[in-house]
């Protein structure tokens, strides 16, 4: 009797403890700097379920909570094109690994998502094999040999639009070399095998939907001055929803690459077409530039956040350093205030501000400038920065005018049944890049030269104000914000694959989705739908998605000294995967088009 009373008391106590552990965290003020904060909070099902039950978005916010993710048992591909995600899964089902599938997805995006998917641009691939090996591949574009520091500044010292539009805007493309290199080193199939779905999509065509048609229509200004007009504006109108879009020139180009490897692009007939196009329009990319292009394998930036491991992209992208620096700053505040609160918005803004100040002044191509990577990603440096944050008042960055920001680039995430993972972000920079379309080649060229500090101290198309470290030099890679990221749980097991499009908002949005999952215990679907914030130091403005912060929260942020500005289109374009009990959740960007496909 006594024994059974004891047992039931113990059971009651255990139940109470469990309930207490599962209760939402109180909205405690973050601890001041100096309080140990390496709290490992493994993502367990009970906490996630509780967080999902408690989840609420501000009233008037465009997305509901509680939407389901795409679920799969074995593998998942998430990209901005359903066709491209299907191409990746086709390769996985045929026995390919995540790298095979990523390359298949990348080439398919060049066909079905021409605003950012590409062979005329560049990108970054973050790979983690199931056995723990981790590596990144930098296939960023390079400045042509004939480029020069002030090539975009006119005789009156004014910055022209030539870094964003037309023939002079392109760097030497890296995508074909990069995807081929990744496949050769870590794939298990041939180029011909993994490119088959892309070739089929170009040759036999695919059904245009309203989203694709709208995106082409929005590119009229960039596309129609060049030869891509005939493909995308037949009869002068944007290709219509419900029509089958066939791209025979692109199909021929892809077949040449599939049959002859990247040499076809860098030295063979495609190089001939590309250089001929450049010559016709006054561009400066030569056969020599193409022949010299080389992707670079780099060691990922490996950092920790409350016991989780982040594998991120080192320079020539700023993504990994800026994310690591910000996460390290935030780690000094435990726990973080609740998502959506004034305190959280303030802490994010102040942490982003500090990391972007470093990003904009200290980073560049490591082959040309000394990048203080170790210092910027160290916990001790972050502690110093965290100590400067006033929990009640905004700091100040000097103000600059800025241009409107658009969402371009594209990110795709892949996991296979073995547990290999690939995060890839690739871009032409602006939608449809420079607008220049290579006749005979059937593809758009990038306008990546604008990611250099075309005139150090002056804002680029993203409003980023950058310094000499990122000035133009022949053969140099322009600094990127691309941030393909892989997250491991505290046991070192693959947890998340994420990344985004959207210039500097890539970094902030990728990080916010990761924080929503590992700090706020949201489901991936809620983490992706939650309102996003962005601060990049200059302009000194906290950007928020319209209706994503309540009027009262905005008032409080203003009272703390923040300039705040709404973003109506949506901040960034994230595609992500999360390991869940029994398989995977995949979520393509709810603010845009795409597909999460698994099996």
Does the footprint of ligand GLY cover residue 116 (CB under 6 A)?
Answer: no
The SS3 call for residue 322 is: helix
Q: Which residues of 260-274 are buried (b: 16+ CB within 10 A; e: fewer)?
A: ebbbbbbebebbebb
**Beta strand ranges found along 381-470 (DSSP E):** 410-415, 421-427, 437-438, 443-444
**To the nearest whole angstrom, how small is the minimum distance from the Cβ of residue 285 to ligand GLY?**
18
**To the nearest whole angstrom, how small is the minimum distance from the Cβ of residue 463 to ligand GLY?**
13
Shorter beta-carbon distance to ligand GLY: residue 201 or 481: 481
CB atoms within 10 A of CB 38: 11
- Cα torsion through 466, 348, 550, 505, rounded to 10: 40
Shorter beta-carbon distance to ligand GLY: residue 136 or 332: 136
- Cβ–Cβ < 8 Å for 332, 383: yes
Q: Which of 75, 176, 201, 482 is close enough to bind ligand GLY by CB under 6 A? A: 482
Looking at residues 487 to 526 of the shown chain, list those that interact with ligand GLY (rule: CB under 6 A): 503
Question: Residues in contact with ligand GLY, total (CB under 6 A)?
Answer: 8
Measured CA to CA, the distance from residue 206 to residue 55 in angstroms comes to 39
Structure tokens at 211: 């989203």
Shorter beta-carbon distance to ligand GLY: residue 87 or 143: 143
Contacts 24+ apart (CB under 8 A), 221-229: 222/165, 222/430, 222/431, 222/432, 222/433, 222/434, 222/435, 223/432, 223/435, 223/437, 225/166, 225/435, 226/435, 226/436, 226/437, 227/437, 227/439, 228/432, 228/435, 228/437, 228/444, 229/437
Number of H helices and E strands in the chain, helices first, is 20, 23
Which positions from 452 to 481 touch ligand GLY by CB under 6 A, shown as an x/- string?
Answer: ----------------------------xx
Which positions from 387 to 426 touch ligand GLY by CB under 6 A, shown as an x/- string?
Answer: ----------------------x-----------------
Looking at residues 313 to 372 of the shown chain, list those that interact with ligand GLY (rule: CB under 6 A): none
**To the nearest whole angstrom, how small is the minimum distance from the Cβ of residue 225 to ligand GLY?**
21
Kind of pairing, strands 542-545 and 564-567? parallel
* Residue in the block written with tokens 């006594």: 2
Structure tokens at 20: 């207490």
Q: Which of 309, 407, 427, 455 is close enough to bind ligand GLY by CB under 6 A? A: 427
Shorter beta-carbon distance to ligand GLY: residue 37 or 427: 427
- Cβ–Cβ < 8 Å for 415, 599: no
Closest Cα to residue 82, out of 62, 111, 125, 103?
Answer: 111
Backbone CA torsion sign across 90, 92, 97, 101: positive
Shorter beta-carbon distance to ligand GLY: residue 118 or 273: 118
**To the nearest whole angstrom, how small is the minimum distance from the Cβ of residue 503 to ligand GLY?**
5
Alpha helices, H only, 113-247: 175-186, 191-204, 210-218, 220-223, 229-232
**To the nearest whole angstrom, how small is the minimum distance from the Cβ of residue 164 to ligand GLY?**
11
**To the nearest whole angstrom, how small is the minimum distance from the Cβ of residue 324 to ligand GLY?**
17
Does the footprint of ligand GLY cover residue 483 (CB under 6 A)?
Answer: no
Q: Which of 86, 141, 451, 519 is close enough to bind ligand GLY by CB under 6 A? A: 451
> Does residue 458 carry a catalytic annotation?
no
Measured CA to CA, the distance from residue 455 to residue 471 in angstroms comes to 8
Shorter beta-carbon distance to ligand GLY: residue 451 or 519: 451
Shorter beta-carbon distance to ligand GLY: residue 194 or 471: 471
Measured CA to CA, the distance from residue 194 to residue 306 in angstroms comes to 38
Which positions from 428 to 447 touch ligand GLY by CB under 6 A, shown as an x/- string?
Answer: -x------------------
Does the footprint of ligand GLY cover residue 264 (CB under 6 A)?
Answer: no
**To the nearest whole angstrom, how small is the minimum distance from the Cβ of residue 445 to ligand GLY?**
14
Residue 35's region, left for phi above 0, alpha for psi from -120 to 50, else beta, is beta
Shorter beta-carbon distance to ligand GLY: residue 346 or 362: 362
**To the nearest whole angstrom, how small is the minimum distance from the Cβ of residue 411 to ligand GLY?**
11
**To the nearest whole angstrom, how small is the minimum distance from the Cβ of residue 207 to ligand GLY?**
29
Q: How far is CA 51 from CA 89, 157, 449, 575, in A?
A: 31, 55, 44, 22
Closest CB to ligand GLY: residue number = 480
**To the nearest whole angstrom, how small is the minimum distance from the Cβ of residue 588 to ligand GLY?**
20
CB within 8 Å of 72: residues ≥ 6 apart: 583, 584, 586, 598, 599
Measured CA to CA, the distance from residue 485 to residue 390 in angstroms comes to 30
Partnered with residue 415 across adjacent β-strands are 76, 421
Structure tokens at 174: 């890296």
Shorter beta-carbon distance to ligand GLY: residue 180 or 425: 425
From the candidates 402, 409, 508, 541, which is the catalytic residue?
A: 409
Partnered with residue 423 across adjacent β-strands are 126, 413
Shorter beta-carbon distance to ligand GLY: residue 227 or 451: 451
Active-site residues, by number, are: 409
Interface with ligand GLY (CB under 6 A): 409, 427, 429, 451, 480-482, 503
């Amino acid at each position: 009797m006594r024994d059974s009373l004891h047992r039931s008391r113990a059971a009651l106590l255990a139940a109470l403890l469990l309930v207490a552990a599962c209760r939402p965290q109180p909205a405690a003020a973050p601890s001041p700097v100096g309080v140990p904060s390496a709290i490992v909070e493994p993502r367990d099902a009970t906490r996630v379920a509780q967080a999902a039950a408690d989840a609420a978005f501000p009233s008037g916010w465009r997305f509901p909570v509680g939407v389901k993710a795409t679920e799969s048992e074995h593998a998942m591909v998430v990209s901005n094109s359903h066709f491209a995600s299907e191409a990746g899964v086709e390769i996985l089902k045929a026995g390919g690994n995540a790298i095979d599938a990523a390359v298949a997805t990348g080439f398919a995006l060049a066909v079905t998502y021409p605003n950012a998917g590409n062979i005329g641009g560049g990108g970054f691939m973050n790979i983690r094999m199931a056995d723990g090996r981790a590596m990144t591949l930098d296939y960023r574009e390079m400045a042509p040999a004939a480029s020069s520091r002030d090539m975009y500044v006119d005789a009156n010292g004014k910055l022209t639009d030539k870094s964003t539009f037309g023939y002079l805007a392109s760097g030497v493309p890296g995508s074909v070399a990069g995807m081929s290199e990744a496949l050769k080193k870590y794939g298990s199939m041939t180029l011909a095998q993994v490119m088959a779905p892309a070739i089929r999509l170009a040759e036999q065509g695919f059904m245009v939907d309203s989203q694709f048609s709208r995106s082409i229509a929005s590119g009229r200004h960039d596309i129609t001055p060049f030869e891509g007009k005939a493909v995308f504006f037949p009869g002068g109108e944007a290709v219509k929803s419900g029509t089958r879009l066939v791209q025979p020139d692109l199909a021929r180009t892809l077949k040449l690459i599939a049959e002859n490897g990247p040499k076809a692009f860098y030295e063979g007939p495609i190089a001939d077409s590309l250089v001929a196009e450049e010559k016709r329009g006054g561009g400066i990319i030569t056969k020599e530039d193409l022949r010299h292009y080389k992707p670079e394998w780099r060691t990922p930036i490996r950092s920790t956040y409350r016991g989780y491991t982040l594998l991120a992209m080192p320079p020539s992208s700023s993504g990994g350093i800026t994310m690591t620096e910000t996460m390290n700053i935030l780690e000094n505040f435990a726990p973080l205030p609740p998502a959506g609160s004034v305190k959280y918005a303030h802490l994010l803004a102040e942490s982003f501000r500090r990391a972007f100040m470093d990003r904009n002044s200290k980073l560049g191509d490591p082959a040309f400038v000394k990048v203080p990577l170790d210092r910027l990603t160290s916990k001790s440096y972050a502690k110093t920065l965290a100590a400067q944050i006033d929990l009640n008042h905004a700091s100040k960055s000097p103000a600059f005018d800025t241009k409107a920001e658009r969402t371009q680039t594209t990110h795709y995430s892949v996991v296979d049944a073995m547990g290999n993972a690939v995060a890839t972000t690739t871009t032409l920079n602006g939608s449809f890049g420079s607008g220049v379309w290579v006749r005979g080649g059937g593809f758009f060229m990038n306008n990546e030269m604008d990611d250099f500090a075309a005139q150090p101290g002056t804002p680029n198309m993203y409003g980023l104000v950058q310094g000499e470290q990122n000035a133009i030099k022949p053969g140099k890679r322009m600094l990127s914000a691309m941030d393909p990221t892989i997250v491991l749980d505290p046991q070192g097991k693959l947890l998340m694959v994420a990344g985004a499009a959207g210039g500097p908002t890539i970094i902030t949005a990728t990080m916010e989705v990761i924080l929503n999952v590992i700090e706020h215990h949201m489901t991936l679907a809620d983490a992706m739908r939650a309102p996003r914030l962005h601060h990049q130091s200059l302009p000194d403005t906290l950007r928020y998605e319209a209706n994503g912060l309540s009027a009262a929260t905005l008032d409080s942020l203003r009272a703390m000294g923040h300039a705040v500005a709404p973003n109506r289109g949506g901040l960034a374009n994230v595609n992500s995967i999360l390991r869940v009990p029994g398989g995977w959740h995949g979520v393509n960007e709810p603010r845009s088009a795409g597909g999460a496909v698994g099996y």
